[in-house]
Amino acid sequence: MSFTLTSSQAIVKKAGVYASATAIASGAILADFCDKAEGQICARTRWDWVAGIGSAHAQVVFALDDAVSDLAAMKVINYDMTGATKAEFQVRLDMLSDNSNKIIADLSKSDANKIRTVE
């Protein structure tokens, strides 16, 4: 399941400059965090996006990438919160949480995979 809906690079980029060097250098840690984030997206939206990603509209794939990388980056940040103030980490966590929650809410709608065309 690892890195089906996002990439390790997207996770590291969102985790930011204060992310633990140990966490971002470990493919195993990033894969674990990605698996958990992908599982959370599937559970919260009640859609198996991992198995069905091939049939998802491209714009939905972008949204999934955004949400999964947010959730996994939050886990990277929480892995080791040294190097910045608690307030700096909290702002970053809040922004990632807010963005992912909005995307998950939209994807939870039954027709989330149907992108309408402008007529």
109 vs 72, higher pLDDT: 72
Integer Cα distance of 28 and 50 in angstroms: 19
Whether residue 115 has pLDDT greater than 80: no
Residue 112 lies in a domain: no
Total tally of structural domains belonging to the chain? 1
List the domain range (segments joined by +) for residue 73.
8-107
Residue 80 lies in a domain: yes
> What average pLDDT is seen over the chain?
92
Q: Using one digit for the tens of pLDDT, what is the confidence trace for 32-76?
A: 999 999 999 999 999 999 999 998 888 899 999 999 999 999 999
pTM of the model: 0.91
Residues 6+ apart with CB under 8 A from 75: 33, 36, 37
Residue 17 lies in a domain: yes
Residue 115 lies in a domain: no
Whether residue 103 has pLDDT greater than 90: yes
Residue 118 lies in a domain: no
Sign of the C-alpha dihedral computed for residues 51, 55, 59 and 60 taken in this order: negative
